[in-house]
Amino acid sequence: MEEFKMPLIGDKFPEVEVNTTHGVKKLPGDYAGKWFVLFSHPGDFTPVCTTEFIEFARRHEDFKAVNTELIGHSVDQVFSHIKWVQWIKENMNMEIKFPVIADELGRLGNRLGMLHPGKGTNTVRAVFIVDAEGYLRTIFYYPQEIGRNMDEILRAVKAIQTSDANKVATPANWPNNEVLGDSVIIPPASSEQLVEQRLKQKEAGEIECFDWWFCHKKLK
């Protein structure tokens, strides 16, 4: 199998044409102007993967509310995907409205580092958050045995979008940080002039600071 360099955060998502349960799609082109979360699963008709698909489907509208689409992926055939999503609807009362990629030859999985040599031909549980310009912004890898937390994936999307829009950083567990609550962090001052500016902003009540290098604010 052809080898590819592992993608890094900040890289452009590779241009690929894929077969899905919703027909042929071109990535990232078909999602231009939208964010998307591409997530792989080890196999159809498996318990952990089934629970994950149910939870992704539950949160589908929450992702759409922040201009983000979901795309599933595994090396199973499209016929298997179709039958599995039908089974989920009929037996678990949950409709899977997002497409699922059928990467039968493992080309995309290999290109994105989702195929682990120690785990046979199945993909690991990977998550790729891609922005509206087609750039990789976050990459998560999980072992096959551990189901993912969809709230954390959604939180990551919201945090990146907030950071981009406001030129800020977000603290641990944002927006529920024990120290800062839902406040965001202002990038540390990188010059003496910026230090003075931060102190003036603090005196004016525009921001709060523990020190000149650790300032934060509420978003309006």
Distance, in Å, from the CA atom of 35 to the CA atom of 58, rounded to the nearest integer, reads 18
Distance, in Å, from the CA atom of 106 to the CA atom of 117, rounded to the nearest integer, reads 12
Which amino acids are annotated catalytic? 49
> Which residues of 33-118 form beta strands (DSSP E)?
35-40, 68-74, 100-102
Distance, in Å, from the CA atom of 17 to the CA atom of 20, rounded to the nearest integer, reads 10
Distance, in Å, from the CA atom of 218 to the CA atom of 177, rounded to the nearest integer, reads 13
Residue 115: other Cβ atoms inside 10 A = 22
Answer for the pair 168, 162: CB distance below 8 angstroms, yes or no: yes
> Which residues of 4-81 form beta strands (DSSP E)?
16-20, 23-27, 35-40, 68-74
Q: Token pair for residue 79?
A: 């016929």
Helix (H, G, I), strand (E, B) or coil at 56: helix
Q: Token pair for residue 212?
A: 């000149």
Distance, in Å, from the CA atom of 168 to the CA atom of 171, rounded to the nearest integer, reads 10
